[in-house]
Amino acid sequence: MSDKLILGCGYLGRRVTRLWRAAGHRVFATTRCPAKAEELRRMGLEPILADVLEPHSLEALPPVSSLVFCVGLDRSAGVPMRRVYVEGLANVLAELARSGSSPDRFLYVSSTGVYGQGDGTEVDETAVTEPTDESGRIVLEAERLLRERWPDAIILRFAGLYGPGRLIGARGLSNGEPLTGDPRRWLNLIHVEDGAAAVLAAEERGRPGESYNVGDGHPVARQDFFTCLAGLLGVAPPVFRGHGEEERGNRRIGNRRLREELGLRLRYPSYAEGLPASLAAEES
Ligand SMILES: NC(=O)c1ccc[n+]([C@@H]2O[C@H](COP(=O)([O-])OP(=O)(O)OC[C@H]3O[C@@H](n4cnc5c(N)ncnc54)[C@H](OP(=O)(O)O)[C@@H]3O)[C@@H](O)[C@H]2O)c1
């Protein structure tokens, strides 16, 4: 049993805390919002009011054996992404240096957006990182800052998270709206429950200083994904329009390290298992 801390207890973070709690650990979780703090307490967590953009608030972070950095962009806050991802991370690293607190494990939730490949190739963790869009460049800057200041940190490059309550495109499909973007472009996904299990596998078996792709290893063409989703929802198949305009990267994310080094066995090896399970969970 040891103490854990999650910075950013949102869609993914909550699942991570559930797994830690189930294993009997003491779990601290940050939030910026007092009402959410009460909710976290009811979940058996020890809430800490902290904002990565407010260095003083970070003085409340407790010393722990494992820290997971899982802060996402809160669009409603109106703060530029770079401030949250780069300056926010720098503030946390500065606070750890100031307090002398040094978790044995520092896990950083990053994104496969750091890869810029646009030709549909398969990319593993050794692939070049030359993101073509602004958000990818910001996440890469955060990764580099972390590597410089905390070389042993483990970086987890997440593909798109999906699961109950996060079925991208479901509302639009149900409303009969066309989808934008190229139907042939690859989607790289990971079910949120598998994503949380990946964080714990990396905590247990990840190599210090290593990066791991966290995807299910079954990229799917958008056309196939949304056709499957429409079928499950019982609505008309998707119509795509406007592709070619503002396309982001197009690649297939390989997950060999996740499976072989971290030994993760996916509960939802692809959308074919994950989508119906997610819809069933939403309905229950
Ligand atoms: N969603 C995806 O498909 C996807 C794909 C690749 C990578 N990722 C990465 O995975 C991570 C988690 O994603 P998610 O979908 O679980 O995110 P999420 O549900 O939006 O949760 C992110 C959490 O960040 C916290 N947060 C936001 N601004 C903050 C700030 N200034 N200071 C402290 N905490 C702050 C929020 O907590 P409070 O509101 O309680 O303060 C929120 O609970 C993110 O880093 C994201 O970039 C996500």
* Contact between 199 and 258 (Cβ < 8 Å): no
CA 235 to centroid of ligand 1, rounded, Å: 31
* Amino acid found at 210: E
Residue nearest to atom 17 of ligand 1 (CA): 72
Share of the chain above pLDDT 70, in %: 98
Please give the structure tokens belonging to residue 116: 């810029």
Query: Is 231 a residue whose pLDDT tops 90?
Result: yes
CA 282 to centroid of ligand 1, rounded, Å: 21
The set of residues, in sequence order, having a beta carbon less than 8 Å from that of 250 and lying 6+ positions away, is 117, 118, 119, 120, 182, 185, 186
pLDDT of residue 45: 98
pTM over 0.85: yes
pLDDT of residue 262: 98
Distance CA(265)–CA(256), nearest Å, equals 11
**In this predicted model, what pLDDT tens digit does every residue of 121-154 receive, in sequence order?**
999 999 999 999 999 999 999 999 999 999 999 9
Question: CB burial class (10 A; 0-12, 13-18, 19+) of residue 150?
Answer: buried
Which of ligand 1's atoms lies nearest the C-alpha of 50?
33
CA 244 to centroid of ligand 1, rounded, Å: 29
> For residue 194, what is the enclosing H or E element?
helix 192-205
CA 173 to centroid of ligand 1, rounded, Å: 25
The set of residues, in sequence order, having a beta carbon less than 8 Å from that of 256 and lying 6+ positions away, is 124, 217
Residue nearest to atom 32 of ligand 1 (CA): 51
Please state whether beta strands 179-180 and 240-241 pair in parallel, antiparallel, or not at all (unpaired): parallel
SS3 (DSSP) at 224: helix
Distance CA(185)–CA(30), nearest Å, equals 36
Which of ligand 1's atoms lies nearest the C-alpha of 13?
16
pLDDT band at 243 (very low <50, low <70, confident <90, very high): low
Q: Which of 74, 111, 138, 192 to mutate to test the pocket of ligand 1 (most atoms within 8 A of CB)?
A: 74
The residue written with tokens 């580099």 in the block is 144
Which residues have any ligand 1 atom within 6 Å of their CB? 8-13, 30-33, 36, 51-53, 70-72, 74, 84, 88, 109, 111, 158, 160-161
CA 43 to centroid of ligand 1, rounded, Å: 18
The residue written with tokens 């079928």 in the block is 231
Residue nearest to atom 46 of ligand 1 (CA): 72
Distance CA(65)–CA(101), nearest Å, equals 10
The DSSP 8-state label assigned to residue 119 in this structure reads S
The set of residues, in sequence order, having a beta carbon less than 8 Å from that of 181 and lying 6+ positions away, is 222, 240, 242, 243, 247
Q: Which of 31, 51, 70 to mutate to test the pocket of ligand 1 (most atoms within 8 A of CB)?
A: 70
CA 11 to centroid of ligand 1, rounded, Å: 7
Q: Can you give the three-state secondary structure of 45-89, one letter per residue?
A: CEEEECCCCCHHHHHHCCCCCEEEECCCCCHHHCCCHHHHHHHHH
CA 72 to centroid of ligand 1, rounded, Å: 2
Query: Is 245 a residue whose pLDDT tops 60?
Result: no
The residue written with tokens 């990764």 in the block is 143
Question: CB burial class (10 A; 0-12, 13-18, 19+) of residue 162?
Answer: buried
Query: Is 103 a residue whose pLDDT tops 80?
Result: yes
**In this predicted model, what pLDDT tens digit does every residue of 39-51 receive, in sequence order?**
999 999 999 999 9
CA 70 to centroid of ligand 1, rounded, Å: 6
Question: CB burial class (10 A; 0-12, 13-18, 19+) of residue 76?
Answer: exposed
